[in-house]
Amino acid sequence: MAFNYKTEFQRYRRYYQSLEPTFTKPKSRAYTTIIFSFLAVSLFGWYAIRPTIQTILFLQREIRDKTELNKKMEDKIAALIEAQAYYQEVEPLLPVVDQALPTIPDAIPLLIQLRNLASRSGTLIGAVQLPTIPLTGQEIGPAGKDAKLSSPGANKEHIYDLSISVRGSYPSIRTFLEGITQMRRIVSVDALAVIPMKADFEGSASAIPSSRVLQLALKLKTYYLVE
Amino acid sequence: MDNDRDLLLISVFTFFTVGLWITFELLKTSRTTTVSQSTQQIVVPLTAKIDVDTLTAMVNRKVF
């Protein structure tokens, strides 16, 4: 159907003419002004004022953040320079940290140290019990649950238990215990029991003097730090 | 007349809703940091002191 502009014009003219008396009323005019003012402010507020103020606030915040960041970076650079000086000073001492807290379980070197300590202190190692522990410090499977790979505090620290039983005289056992507390490798005594030995052991051919032979059962905890 | 009042109410509520929305958006913008998480990790303060006493104590411990 062709668009007849004459009839359409007349139709819209009638509409506008019918609206005219409504807008001539002061109350309607006031209402219309207020309504359109609110709508206009809302519209421009959302599409014009909000992005502008948002950009201003974002830039202000960025300036503040960058200034603060710059100051923190300068502080950190100064601290790093200072730390480097300290590090160079203590660098020769650092391997002892690895000896105290190795990055792998290092069970064999620990056992060797305990054996050397026992021979130095004049005690005899009766038994040593180790849980299943990973050689490389990686997590182990379900078979190695006894290794007690717990993680106190940081999840990089690992603990495993070690039970050892030694026998000897009171002074030698005491020396052995003191040696454990003075070992560079961090070993803590979790539990200990001192049991007097039976007479049949005392009569046997042994390097230990037969008088007052004691057995020391120790439960130790040792640590390593997985990097 | 009721129609006018309804329209006025709608426009007023629209105005307040948009106003509140803008306010919260602006608050969010001003509160949100522009520094990325990785940069925040980089600028974590560093204590330059190294505990030499502990190191010396460890050196003094024995290796059997």
Range of the domain at A71: 1-93
**Does residue A39 sit in helix, strand or coil?**
helix
Using the Cβ of A54 and the Cβ atoms of chain B, whether some distance falls under 8 Å is answered with yes
Give the tokens for residue A45: 């507020």
Chain B contact for A99, CB < 8 A?
yes
The pLDDT value recorded for residue A150 is: 47
Residues A31 and A89 both lie in one domain: yes
Query: Is the same domain home to A76 and A30?
Result: yes
- Rounded mean pLDDT, A104-131: 90
How many angstroms from the chain centroid is the CA of residue A95?
24
Q: List CB contacts (< 8 A) between B45 and chain A.
A: 72, 75-76, 79
Segment A73-85 shows an average pLDDT of 92
Looking at the partner chain, which of A53, A62, A182 has a beta carbon nearest the beta carbon of B62? A182
**Can you give the pLDDT at residue A15?**
86
Of A32, A67, A93, the last residue of a domain is: A93
Final residue belonging to a domain, choices A93, A127, A144: A93
Q: What residues of chain B lie within 8 A of the CB of A93, using their CB?
A: 52, 55-56, 58-59
- Please determine, for residue A219, whether its predicted confidence score (pLDDT) is greater than 90: yes
Is the Cβ of A174 closer than 8 Å to some Cβ of chain B?
no
Number of domains in chain A: 2
Mutate to test the interface with A, among B1, B5, B11 (most CBs of A within 10 A): B11
* Domain finish residue from A93, A110, A145: A93
User: Is residue A53 domain-shared with residue A151, that is, in the same domain?
Assistant: no
- A113 lies in the same domain as A207: yes
Q: Is 70 exceeded by the pLDDT of residue A145?
A: no
**Residue A102: C-alpha distances to residues A98, A158, B10 (Å):** 5, 10, 72
Q: Which residues contact A143 (CB under 8 A, 6 or more apart)?
A: A132
User: Whole domain around residue B46: which residue ranges?
Assistant: 2-60
- Can you tell me the mean pLDDT for A149-159? 61
Give yes or no for residue A139 having a pLDDT over 80: no
The arithmetic mean of pLDDT across residues A25-33, rounded, is: 85
Inform me whether the pLDDT recorded for A46 exceeds 70.
yes
Co-location of A81 and A127 in the same domain: no
At A43, is the pLDDT very low, low, confident or very high (cuts 50, 70, 90)? very high
A220 and A141, same domain (yes or no): yes
The total domain count for chain B is 1
Which residue type, as a one-letter code, is found at position B62?
Answer: K
Q: Is pLDDT of A105 > 60?
A: yes
The predicted pLDDT at position A148 comes to 46
Q: Is residue A84 within 8 Å of B48, Cβ to Cβ?
A: no
Shortest Cα distance, chain B CAs vs residue A25, angstroms: 11
- Is the predicted pLDDT of residue A40 greater than 50, yes or no? yes
Q: Are residues A116 and A181 in the same domain?
A: yes
The whole-number pLDDT of residue B38 equals 93
**For A36, which residue in chain B has the nearest alpha carbon?**
B11
Q: Which residues pair with A223 in a beta bridge?
A: A159
Residues of B in contact with A28 (CB under 8 A): 4
- Average pLDDT along chain A: 84
List the pLDDT tens digit at each of the 64 positions of chain B: 577 788 889 999 999 999 999 999 999 999 999 999 999 999 998 888 888 888 888 888 988 8
Residue A161's DSSP bridge partners are A221
